[in-house]
Structure 1
Amino acid sequence: MNRALTLISLGTLLAFASTQLLASGNAESGKKKSATCFACHGTDGNAVDPQYPRLAGQYNIYLQQVMHEYKDGQRNNPIMKGMVATLSDQDIEDVAAYFSTLPTKLDTLSGHVEGDK
């Protein structure tokens, strides 16, 4: 039983450490690099127009993944592809760090899911 607890604790520690390593980026630098994002996603990451996703409070790794998917064409959106085309990996990490640290104003999905009225 003691060995099982040790293995679980070690696994949890490794999972947490790897998540933190993957979730790198400088939020302050990301704020500066996000200036063009504000037009659609809002200065606080809480877009008021429902056609634009709210980025505030999203998981850092998720934001990084999405930006990479737009950049490499896995996600097909010509506007976003153009927006991320010149971003380096460090830029993407910084932008993701910035938006992931912001408080979200999304308390329900009502009206925020495509197809909702």
Structure 2
Amino acid sequence: MKKFVIAAASGAMLLISSQGMAANIEAGKKKAAEVCAACHGPDGNSPAPAFPKLAGQHASYLMKSLNEYKSGVRKDPIMAGMAAALSKEDIEDVSAYYASQSGLKTKY
């Protein structure tokens, strides 16, 4: 029962936090294919352990991370360059796309 309550509360928070976000998942898929897929995989399930899996992550977490790379709060020369080329709309769309994907479990 405790797990159910936690899951229900988490789901409600996710719904509340995503309201007002007018992301376009199809546009995010296209932009991810152009910018992100080489390292993170076309669906966010990175084929290499050196690159994080993005599939199934919360859109708000992905947006926060990309905005922090773009602003320089998070330091990574590769991600800073990738994020610099993304507009606010691109960040919302890519984040929504990866959040909509299934995070596959892969053993390395």
Q: TM-score range by the shorter chain?
A: 0.7 to 0.9
2:19 maps to 1:31: no
1:24–1:97 CA contact under 8 A, matched in 2: no
Root mean square deviation, CA, Å = 2.1
Q: Determine which structure has more spread, i.e. the larger CA radius of gyration.
A: 1
Secondary structure at 1:53 match in 2: coil
- 1:7 maps to what in 2? none
Corresponding residue number in structure 2 for 1:9: none
8 Å CA contact 1:23, 1:97 repeated in 2? no
With over 3 angstroms needed to count, the CA separation of the structure-2 counterparts of 1:82 and 1:21, relative to structure 1, is same
2:79 aligned with 1:80, yes or no?
yes
2:45 aligns to what SS in structure 1? coil
CA offsets per residue over residues 70-113 of structure 1, 9 Å max, x none? 00011100000000102111110000010000001137xx86xx
Structure 1 runs of 4+ aligned residues shifted over 2 Å read 14-18, 20-24
Q: Which amino acid aligns with 1:31?
A: K
Deviation at 1:50, TM superposition (A): 0.7
CA pair 58-23 structure 1, distance change in 2 beyond 3 A = farther
CA distance in 1, matches of 2:53, 2:14: 26
SS of the residue aligned with 1:34? Answer: helix
In the alignment, residue 32 of structure 2 is paired with which amino acid?
S
TM-score normalised by L of structure 1: 0.73
The count of residues paired between Structure 1 and Structure 2 equals 96
Change (3 A) 1:25 1:77: same
Corresponding position of 1:20: 18
1:90 equivalenced with 2:79 (yes/no):
no
1:79–1:22 Cα change, 3 Å: farther
Aligned positions of 1:1-117 closer than 5 A? 18-21=16-19, 23-35=21-33, 36-106=35-105
Q: What TM-score does the superposition give when structure 2 sets the normalisation length?
A: 0.79
